[in-house]
Amino acid sequence: MLGVYATETAMRPSLLAATLLTATLAACQSTAPVRPDQSTSIAAPVVNAADARFDAVAKHWLDGWTRLNPVSATQLGDHRFDSEIDDLSAGGRQRMVDFSRQVLSELDAIDASALSRENQVDAMILRNQLRSDIWSIDTFQSWAWDPQVYNGLAGGAIYNVMARDFAPMPQRLKSATARMEKIPGIFLQMRANLDPARVPRIHAETVAKQNAGVLSLVDEFITPNAGQLTGADRQRLDAAVAGLRTAVADQQAWLDGTLVPNAKGDFRIGQKLYDEKLRMSLDSTLSRAEIRQRAEAEIKRVRGEMYDIARGVLKDRKSATPLPATPTAVQQQAAIEAALELAYADHPARDQVVPAAKQALANATAFVRAKDLVTVPNDPVNVVLMPEFQRGVAVAYCDSPGPLDKGLATYFAISPIPDDWTPKQADSFLREYNSRMINLLTIHEAMPGHYLEGAHSAQFPSTLRAVLRSGVFAEGWAVYTEDMMTRAGYMDNDPLFHLVQLKFYLRSVANALLDQGVHVDHWTREQAMQLMTQQTFQQEREAAGKWVRAQLSSAQLPTYFVGVQEQFDLRHAMEARLGDRFNEKAYHDQVLSYGAPPVRYVRELMLDEPIH
């Protein structure tokens, strides 16, 4: 699920050994073109003995990893373990570490220089994943301090089985029954593993609010279909549901009475852990310092471009806002805000956000086809309300079927405005998610962003690469398409759309600064809000939600900025190489044809550079 996961991709529920896998599960089957050199393999096409040996290691890893992570296996489309759940006990964690070390030793025994270039890429990706899995358990230890790990696992256990029609309903209900019987065990492991002194209060409070969402999945997916089971199967399902309701109530009492009052941990993970996690999460050549330097420069550049647009929009309007050619910082801020107010005024009603997104999806799809920007898949994509257990982190995400499931729909999920929000809070949200912003949100999450990219990427024959799909590539592409659609003249070259697009892009820039500012530089809420509301023009509700997200996560928010910078750099390099022979559609199709590895490897493959 991409989603980030605040319109950025939402994070998948935090599954124990999936630090990097969280952004890889959105690959899907499509009608995107296949490069002529492709063939079917667990890894990239097998060419020689070294490739065959690597293919065997990749198969060993995928089989073992899915056995140890059955909830994620279901999401991937491996349904051998649909009745099982992950074991987060000390023994279960050790089995994951031992397995990862074993596969790493097998990988080390292969001469990487003898592999095909595609398999050199896959070997680098697998090595990074193995090291990350070991580090996550032994060093980062989220199992000891982050209750989101367990809450996400409990919700995913049901959602992954029931949300898609990959098998007949009775079969999925039986699998869900078995998992519901085991979910109370997740809660028991959570209570045994978590050290309240290490649990940040924001994490405890968030999970306390989300806990009942597991039952909303039962009410949405299980109860309406329970009549399809009869006899002993129905009795077992009813007993599992009753047991789960009791377990969730007990868990709520523990969360409210024990965990939240005693949660004393710091949500900031600190420089050492942050730099280690950032390196593995991004798999980029950009360091934390380079990310900051580029982000700060981009804020200055983009604000200048936004001011130029604002001058054009406001020049013929009666306004007290000065519009000098060389403005002061105050004049620049006032002019941009005044122009943005014109866009904020055009927004859907509180209950019309989802219908507006559906119309935006139809419009964007028609535009991409008319302009022939990239090959458009025919796979189904549905705009849906975000499941309750996943709300509270981001506003929208793209949830595509796993790479091992074929022909199933992609979900473009949007979180509704909370019922308990005041009219003022709802207005702040709708000003941020105005009509033009909803179009950008749809571009990012669906067309031609995550949905289209996932459909293309799934055509690459390496199952390993599909499973370990790069979140940096995916998010970078999604942000890149916002710029691509604007340059192509979407919404009739509306200057206010361009202005909102640049504001949306500034979110990606701010994300990168916010993440390291919070976790490394100990930013206060006031510092974070100043960056978001003043420097990058976010509304209070959006910024407040992002402040929460920055506390709940780490090393994911920079994926947008790092990914799009690498996408821009790659395009510039190819334009320089090809000159007049550069063709935009052919370029886009080629970029998307490699199965979404980290962008650094796409660049090396396209420019025929050494893989490293």
Tokens of 499: 């202005």
Return the sign of the alpha-carbon dihedral for residues 526, 531, 535, 538. Answer: negative
DSSP secondary structure of 142-153: HHHH-THHHHHH
Orientation of helix 471-487 relative to helix 353-371, angle to 10°: 70
φ, ψ of residue 265 in degrees (nearest 5): -75, 165
Q: For residue 382, what is the enclosing H or E element?
A: strand 381-385
Question: Helix 559-578 vs helix 271-282: angle between axes, to the nearest 10 degrees?
Answer: 40
Which residue is listed with tokens 């031609």? 448
pLDDT at 38: 38
Q: Tell me the one-letter amino acid at 203.
A: H
| Contact criterion met (CB below 8 Å) for 25 and 466 | no
What does DSSP say about strands 381-385 and 396-399: parallel, antiparallel, or unpaired? unpaired
Low-confidence ranges of the chain (pLDDT < 50): 1-40
Cis, peptide link before residue 448, omega less than 30° from 0: yes
Task: Measure the CA angle with vertex 290, ends 287 and 292; round to 5°.
Answer: 110
Closest C-alpha among 595, 349, 334, 566 to residue 465: 595
What distance in Å separates the CA atoms of residue 465 and residue 124, rounded to the nearest whole number?
A: 11
Q: In what order do the strands lie in the sheet with 381-385?
A: 381-385, 410-414, 396-399
Report the alpha-carbon distance of residue 266 to residue 551 in Å, rounded: 9
Residue matched to tokens 């009410």: 219
Query: Can you give the pLDDT at residue 17?
Result: 33
Cα end-to-end span (Å), the chain? 28
Q: According to the 3-state scheme, what is the secondary structure of 415-451?
A: CCCCCCCCHHHHHHHHHHCCHHHHHHHHHHHCCCCHH
CA distance 66 to 449: 28
Q: How far apart are CA 492 and CA 435, in angstroms?
A: 14
Per-residue HEC secondary structure of 286-313 comes to: CCHHHHHHHHHHHHHHHHHHHHHHHHHH
**Residue 4 CA: distances (Å) to CA of 9, 394, 492:** 2, 7, 29
- Domains of the chain, by residue range, sit at 46-142, 148-262, 289-344
Contact by Cβ (8 Å): 125, 280: no
* pLDDT computed for residue 244 by the predictor: 98
What pLDDT shows up at residue 235? 98
Label the pairing between strands 396-399 and 410-414: antiparallel
Express each pLDDT in 568-604 by its tens digit.
999 999 999 999 999 999 999 999 999 999 999 999 9
Q: How many CB atoms lie within 10 A of CB 421?
A: 14
Q: Would you give the DSSP letter of residue 166?
A: S
- State the alpha helices, DSSP H only, in 32-168: 49-68, 70-76, 90-108, 117-135, 142-145, 148-162
Neighbouring C-beta atoms of residue 9, cutoff 10 Å: 30
Question: Whole-angstrom Cα distance, residue 128 to residue 372?
Answer: 36
Structure tokens at 449: 């962003």
**Token code pair at residue 278:** 């950032």
445 to 1, 110, 399, 432, 441: CA distances (angstroms): 11, 38, 9, 17, 6
Q: What is the pLDDT of residue 214?
A: 95
Task: Fill in the amino acid letter for 81.
Answer: F
The DSSP output letter for 555 is: S
